[in-house]
Amino acid sequence: MPASAVLALALLLTLITAPAVRVEVAGSGDALVSYFLRAGDAPAVLAEPAIGEPYFCHALHLGTGEELPVELEGGTLKVVVPSAGDVEVECVTALASKTGRVWSLEFSSRHPVEVVLPENAVTLAVEPEPALIQLAGGNRVSLFFGPGKVRVEYVILPPGQASPPPADAAEGGGAVPSLAYAALALAAVAAIVAAAAAFWLLRQRKFRRP
């Protein structure tokens, strides 16, 4: 099995099971950003570049249930962890901006990241192409990316509107569609099918009798 296919499958499985960062965008453009971090040694200070502009943060030690203070210094979140274990940091963040009808968000993450768009949001441009697209419930779309820079432009349709707006929906400048929503969904399905097939072939070779 080609090494590239194995790496792609490993990345896909990692994104599905445990994205290290989750960005849940509200209709207002604010976002709840959750960072899932680990302190191997303790006591320790965990430092994580902040996504967007946080204006409220708190942290929880998932092993002990202890609330931990969070400081923001020069765009970096810092958490003092007294004992080893997993830590979840949650921040309410100003993230997406709006031009006309088009919302846009752009950030960088050094971890795999899941972006959950608002209800009834339809993407106009997504960079890079997501590794996976899922429905997140409540008519919301969830996009999974590897580490790096992420840019998403979208519009929020009125409830019950079935079709996306035309390409010139960006009033006052802004976005030009680079990926159709349906094409993204089909690409995601194709990626999942290919990964599943590769995994099945790997198992067949592993357990085949000599």
Query: In this predicted model, what pLDDT tens digit does every residue of 17-31 receive, in sequence order?
Result: 457 999 999 999 999
Q: How many CA atoms lie within 13 A of 75 on its CB side?
A: 6
Rounded to two decimals, the pTM is 0.69
Strands 21-25, 113-116: pairing kind: parallel
Confidence label for 164 from pLDDT (cuts 50, 70 and 90): very low
CA 126 to chain centre: 12
**Burial of residue 59 (number of CB atoms within 10 Å: 0-12, 13-18, 19+):** buried
The pLDDT tens digits for 31-89 are 999 999 998 888 889 999 999 999 999 999 999 999 999 999 999 999 999 999 999 99
